[in-house]
Amino acid sequence: MSRLSVLDLWKGYAGAPVLEGVDLEVPAGSLTAVLGLSGCGKTTLLRVIAGFERAERGSVSLGGRTLDDGRIYLAPEQRSVGYVPQEGALFPHLSVRENVGFGLPRRERRGEQVTALLEMVGIAPLARRLPHELSGGEQQRVALARALARRPQALLLDEPFSSLDASLRSHVREEVHALLRAQGVTTVLVTHDQEEALSLADTVAVLREGRIIQRGEPAELYEQPADERLARFLGAVNVLDARFERGTALTTLGTLQLHDDQAAGEAAGVVMVRPEQLDVRVCDNGGRDERPAGLEGRVEECRYYGHDALLQIRPEQAGDGELLLARVHGEQALAVGTRVTVAAHGRATRLR
Amino acid sequence: MSTLAPSTPIAGRFTRAWSGRRRWPLVSVAGGVIAAALVLLPLWFLVVEAQQSGWSEVRHLLERHSVAVLLWNTIRLTLACTALCAVLGVAAAWCVERTALPARRLWAVALVLPLGVPDFVVGFGWVSIDPALHGYLAAVMIMTLALYPLVYLPVASSLANLDAGLEEAARSLGLGPWRAFWRVTLRQIWPAVLGGCLLVTLALLAEYGAFEIVQYRTFTVEIFTEFKLGFDTVAACVLSLVLVALSIAALAGELSLTGRGRSARSGPGAPRRAPRVALGRFLLPVLAGLGALSGLALGVPMGSLVYWMARGSSTTLPSASILSAAGHTALYSACAAVLSTALAVPVSALAIRHRNRVTVLIERLAYLPMALPGLVIALGLVSFSVRYAFSLYQSALELIVAYAILFLPLAVVGVRSAMGQASPRLEEMGRSLGARPAAVWRRVTLPLIAPGLGAAFALVFISAATELTATLLLHPTGVNTLATQFWAYTSEFSYGAAAPYAALMVAISAVPAYLLSRRMSTLGRAERSS
């Protein structure tokens, strides 16, 4: 079990900077997802940690051992860092078994250990096949077994599931997740899929324009993103104008509690409320004299996903602001035109 | 290789060997520079030789050899042959690939096989049965029959891979079948046609044996005669430089014509095969035409060889001499193939893994011998060895080096494509799985490029085994190869004695010609089934 530390890492290609001072701490035995759009430097970060590229500035260390700091530079084979590239990169001239055994000493290549690995990732029956005879998911598993065979101190996964079909992806993802948990290996996974990052990782670090702009547990990131752009990247949002008073935000949806550390600052600004935080109730015009709590509006569009539905609601009174997004259970999907009242629960997140 | 220089397990050393893909991989650079220097060496010595005689002497030489006549002879032959090869090659390829021709596979093989008969053997085949054949028309006919497969092969493979959708689109836009062929199909296969024509032109400029047999004076024949019979090295070198200029002009011409308009397919998926055209009432004329072509190109030379072998068996053959000639041919060709392939590895590695201005220049230089006739390379090496290393003159080593330079482009083609498919990602994976650079080279890179190395070796071996011109100039005194012994007998009109040597050379080079035609049809099949 080793802690992986990346400190103030700089790297560029042909004069164009790619990584501009990346700091990343991965606690021993945990899984950190590095989330970012394509071209943000995710793969470059992994390649520097693996030793395929040298850092220009900064340092990489693993379990207290310096891998690269400008003066010391360990070759990839001396690092004990496993790497699973996006496309698998299996050796096409070697069978599945020979691929998995590649990194082992000659004597152990035919031994029980390789068989155990093949069984662990569920591809034992395919041991004699060549890579081109495997499906995408099978290739990924072989690549994973091959990287784990040498018991690396850290494992790097470069978009390991993006080449798989949607139906296969979640399945393989869960298997790999369980496997990594069981192995307890310090893991960095890079991805552009926020759902993948949030559901798999202990910690998510967001990489944008060569820097880590936020790092935290998945829920923390989702609920309190650093800025509006990240908030929208992680999921649908309602962004509301607000006035702030004593730790609360006054919005069209009423008075909402702010997160504890966000009370200070100017008197007016913008807050974010996730669609899941909105409670939607159908207005009952049955003559009952009960005044419905919350903002009144009309359903303008309903996108139905099966397990849930996303409603776009137009507030009825002029000046009540823009469309509101509300996520409701699938069975609560409403017809367009339905009159509803909307209220919010939970805390609002101040964006500026 | 490049990054995989053997190294010691000291971190500092690793740093130097691996760290930068920007840094120079010393082993590869050394190899690439040697290859480039070897290519330039003969050219350089031609220039030195020519320069020492001074300009007025050069002008005098050019006048004395009536360069205008030689130019006219060479150019009118090249134009006529290239045009005929283009027409025959395209027509034959279209008939085989796009019509419902009976016994297609058989035709596909029969039309490629003439490639396996050395040009001077084709010349021998014709002239030995009809000694009256000589001059321009004989030269045009013989060289066309010997070289048309150079156009046929690339065009046939281009037609086989052509997407039928394009022609169908043209037809649906109102073009008739002929105009669709002219405006769409021909445009698509144009690069293949031009590429084939370039190969024909370069082969014509380099050819000596066949023209000597039909007594037709081109540059190459004149140079050979001047050097071998006139012992005038300066004149030979000056004329050689003119010949090189012609070859380079042909190369530049092809480049400028191909540069415009590439054939590209948009959209995913494999191209769809066009349906084969039913021949109907054209069936008999087409069969007769193809039959005549392969009969003249393959049947006559083969028949003549068989005839002379049968007659020659009465005159006693010293079988020991053919064995020793075959042994020497095999030895020299194998050494040349190893050397050429070994030089092609760093050249390809640099061009693919460390692409920059210098490595691209090295790669281009490695392709330059395509435009250098064997005679020119041999002359340059002779000039070099006579001046600086007389012990090399007419040594086996010099001949082997000449072959290696001459056929370096073939080796680079073979190795480069294999190296291009061996992804550097795989080498990185090997490193990250704990293998040292040398081990990665042995366990990952080498197995991946092995097929390419094998193809390069085979191509060079076969080409060297059937090479005549450079061999005549450079073969060690008292040692004969198949080609030189064949030539010696042919020059004495001992056709019966010459025939077995020719047959052996044909046997050696027919194998790859056959494999080439087979490979093409299996490639076509694979693409259709996918």
Would you place residue A219 in the very low, low, confident or very high pLDDT band (cuts 50, 70, 90)? very high
Nearest CB to A77: which of B425, B435, B444? B435
Q: What is the pLDDT of residues B239-255, one digit of tens each?
A: 888 888 888 888 888 87
ipTM of the complex: 0.79
Mean predicted confidence (pLDDT) in A257-270: 78
- Which residues of chain A from 123 to 152 reach within 8 Å of chain B, CB to CB? 146-147, 149-150
CB count within 10 Å of CB B365 equals 20
pLDDT of residue B530: 33
Contact B459, B404 (CB under 8 A): no
Are B11 and A74 inside 8 Å of each other by CB? yes
List the domain boundaries for chain B: 24-52+318-493, 65-260+281-315
Interface probe, candidates A74, A77, A153, chain B, greatest B C-beta count within 10 A: A77
pLDDT exceeds cutoff 80 at A261: no
- The CATH number of the structural domain formed by A4-228 is 3.40.50.300
Pairing of strands A278-282, A339-344: antiparallel
Nearest C-alpha in B relative to A67: B11
Q: What is the pLDDT of residues B300-319, one digit of tens each?
A: 888 888 888 887 654 555 56
Third-level CATH fold of B24-52+318-493:
MetI-like fold (1.10.3720)
At A210, list the tokens. Answer: 């060569």
A189 vs A204: CA distance, rounded Å: 9
| B24-52+318-493 and B65-260+281-315: identical CATH topology | yes
- Chain A residue numbers with beta carbons less than 8 Å from the beta carbon of B447 are 93
CA proximity to B234, closest of B444, B55, B67 = B55
Distance from CA of A149 to the nearest CA of B (A): 9
- Which residues of chain A from 90 to 119 reach within 8 Å of chain B, CB to CB? 91-93, 102-103
- The CATH number of the structural domain formed by B65-260+281-315 is 1.10.3720.10
pLDDT exceeds cutoff 80 at A317: no
Among A42-56, A259-273, B496-510, the range scoring the smallest mean pLDDT is A259-273
- Chain B residue numbers with beta carbons less than 8 Å from the beta carbon of A85 are 425, 429
B144 vs B27: CA distance, rounded Å: 44
Nearest CB to A91: which of B18, B20, B426? B426
Nearest CB to B14: which of A75, A83, A149? A75
Are A89 and B425 inside 8 Å of each other by CB? yes
Place of tokens 């691929």: A99
Q: Does A54 touch chain B (CB under 8 A)?
A: yes
Among A27-31, A293-297, A328-332, B396-400, the range scoring the smallest mean pLDDT is A293-297
Would you place residue A289 in the very low, low, confident or very high pLDDT band (cuts 50, 70, 90)? very low
- Which residues of chain B from 16 to 55 reach within 8 Å of chain A, CB to CB? 18-20
Largest Cα separation within chain B, whole Å, is: 78
- Chain B residue numbers with beta carbons less than 8 Å from the beta carbon of A78 are 11, 14
Are B15 and A73 inside 8 Å of each other by CB? yes
- Chain B residue numbers with beta carbons less than 8 Å from the beta carbon of A51 are 431-432
One-character DSSP codes across B478-523: T---HHHHHHHHHHTT-HHHHHHHHHHHHHHHHHHHHHHHHHHHHH
Nearest CB to B431: which of A77, A147, A150? A77
A87 vs A163: CA distance, rounded Å: 7
Contact A79, A60 (CB under 8 A): no
Nearest C-alpha in A relative to B437: A77
Place of tokens 């290609």: A13
CB count within 10 Å of CB B126 equals 23
Share of chain A above pLDDT 90, in %: 37
pLDDT of residue B184: 82
Residues in contact with A122: Cβ distance below 8 Å, sequence separation at least 6, in sequence order? A141, A175
Mean predicted confidence (pLDDT) in A81-108: 89
Distance from CA of A55 to the nearest CA of B (A): 10
List the domain boundaries for chain A: 4-228, 237-352
Could you tell me which residues are beta bridge partners of residue A57?
A10
- Which residues of chain B from 367 to 406 reach within 8 Å of chain A, CB to CB? none
Nearest CB to A103: which of B11, B15, B433? B433
Nearest CB to B11: which of A52, A72, A102? A72
Q: Which helix (H) or strand (E) holds A270?
A: strand A268-273
Q: For domain A237-352, which architecture applies?
A: Beta Barrel (2.40)
Contact A257, A348 (CB under 8 A): yes
Residues in contact with B36: Cβ distance below 8 Å, sequence separation at least 6, in sequence order? B361, B362, B365, B366
Name residue B284's amino acid: L
Mean predicted confidence (pLDDT) in A2-18: 90
Q: What is the pLDDT of residues A119-153, one digit of tens each?
A: 888 888 999 999 988 888 889 889 999 999 988 99
pLDDT exceeds cutoff 90 at A190: yes
User: Which portions of chain B are predicted below pLDDT 50?
Assistant: 1-22, 261-269, 314, 523-530
Residues in contact with B17: Cβ distance below 8 Å, sequence separation at least 6, in sequence order? B3, B4, B5, B7, B437
pTM for this predicted structure? 0.77
pLDDT of residue A154: 93
Specify burial of residue A342 (Cβ count, 10 A radius: 0-12, 13-18, 19+): buried
Q: Does A11 touch chain B (CB under 8 A)?
A: no
pLDDT of residue B129: 83
Burial state string for B409-434 with b = 16 or more CB within 10 A and e = fewer than 16: bbbbbbbbbbbeebeeebbbbbbbbb
